[in-house]
């Protein structure tokens, strides 16, 4: 294996961990996502766009380490926040980060995938997805399905960090 192909192999493995964190590498990726300043800022910014009200019912798709879940729970203080993520590692990290809101039954976290959405007892006021859209199997279809979970006039805010330009490409 050449050094270039080894580098590509390692890069591919790391990128896959961001899409579906697993095991020790997944826990490390979760730590990076939780502590990287740009991720924290992006999560807070996207949540602010939704103008979440105290009684809102909100869903985050692909919650990762739970940064936006925490902010949503703070804003929807009398509402309810749901989160789905297909990674056991991220569910565990987010449960720890949001333990108080889970204990008071204001946050419900589910291990689920965007292509197999759970049912909710009532419509949602808002849906957010931060840095997960690029990992969805069929984003157009999934966005349509998510729209069906919203009340009339509900809001949805998907946001992704753009990939940095590759060397030699613009």
- Contact between residue 110 and residue 120 where contact means Cβ atoms under 8 Å apart: no
What is the CA 35 to chain-centroid distance, rounded?
15
CA-closest candidate to residue 81, choices 130, 136, 127, 30: 127
Mean pLDDT to the nearest integer, 47-67: 94
Q: How many residues does the chain have?
A: 170
Range scoring the smallest mean pLDDT among 75-89, 93-107, 156-170:
156-170
Residue 29 predicted with pLDDT over 80: no
| Arithmetic mean of pLDDT over the chain | 84
- Contact between residue 52 and residue 126 where contact means Cβ atoms under 8 Å apart: yes
Residue 3 DSSP one-character state:
H
Residue 137 predicted with pLDDT over 50: yes
Q: pLDDT band for position 92 (50/70/90)?
A: confident
Tokens of 71: 């902010």
Would you state the pLDDT for residue 170?
Answer: 45
């Amino acid at each position: 294996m050449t050094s270039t192909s080894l580098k590509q192999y390692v890069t591919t493995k790391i990128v896959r961990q961001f899409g579906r964190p697993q095991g020790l590498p997944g826990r490390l990726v979760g730590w990076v996502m939780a502590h990287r300043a740009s991720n924290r800022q992006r999560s807070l910014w996207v949540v602010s766009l939704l103008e979440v009200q105290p009684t809102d019912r909100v869903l985050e798709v692909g919650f990762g380490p739970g940064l936006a879940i925490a902010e949503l729970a703070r804003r929807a203080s009398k509402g309810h926040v749901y989160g789905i993520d297909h990674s056991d590692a991220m569910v565990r990290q987010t449960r720890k980060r949001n333990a108080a809101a889970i204990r008071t039954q204001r946050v419900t976290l589910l291990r689920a995938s965007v292509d197999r959405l759970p049912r909710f007892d009532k419509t949602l006021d808002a849906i957010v997805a931060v840095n997960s859209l690029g990992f969805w199997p069929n984003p157009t279809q999934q966005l349509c399905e998510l729209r069906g979970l919203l009340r009339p006039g509900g809001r949805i805010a998907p946001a992704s960090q753009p990939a940095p330009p590759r060397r030699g490409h613009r």
